[in-house]
Amino acid sequence: MAKIGFIGTGIMGKPMALNLIAAGHGLFLSTHHDAAPAELLDKGAVALDNPREVAQEAEFIIVMVPDTPQVEDVLFREDGIAAGVGSGKVVIDMSSISPTATKQFAERIKASGAQYLDAPVSGGEVGAKAATLSIMVGGDEATFARALPLFQAMGKNITLVGDSGAGQTAKVANQIIVALNIQAVAEALLFAAKNGADPARVREALMGGFAGSKILEVHGERMIKGTFDPGFRIALHQKDLNLALSGARELGLNLPNTASAQQVFSTCAALGGSGWDHSALIKGLEHMANFNIRGE
């Protein structure tokens, strides 16, 4: 079994780390930012002072933090991962960050003799707990093969997409699709309810047709019930769409529907909803319509 460093044990990271322990791997955690979760320590994880010490102890070092600046800090701070890695070690960034920055980070880590994979995930907290995450990987085939048993402990649909940065590119594409589908479901349920139909029954009817989807099934139910406790926070989806829109500008592309979804998320944030689940996008549409599908 592998010795794994795991940095970033939040909503997604903690269940991912628990699944690695359950698969028999040894875990090292850094307390440079927050105390290590007791649940992980109780199962045998070892807490160390900083990312450098974690990298020195582990063969694989996994990073699961919110955004590009946090990844850069964990990697390259004075007592960061880069100061503790070398030949034979593999750094795996499972955060969702800039593809452009990822390529730069990979080159800097490889200069130390270590290898680098970008491996963002999709599936939310539910997938993290159930070890059914989709994992999109960028890097070379040999390093991917070494890390595959770790990925298999955390996910089901695991794909080597291409070279460094390709995993992050796939994740940005994923987040475009998810946001636009959430917006489509929200607009459809809002239209139905405003027109006098029961949105719950409309959702049930649509589930059996071509409009059926996982988002209609899961997030449609959340919209109808008003259960918006975060599995994936609006603020994080805004971050991902910012990556999409800034990348599109670099490529000379226009992504009008992505921009529209981002504007509705911004409406939610203005209502104090940055911490709501991204299915709460419907609350932004409801605010603009001055109409609530739940009759609240």
**Enzyme catalytic residues:** 171
Total Cβ atoms within 10 A of residue 243: 24
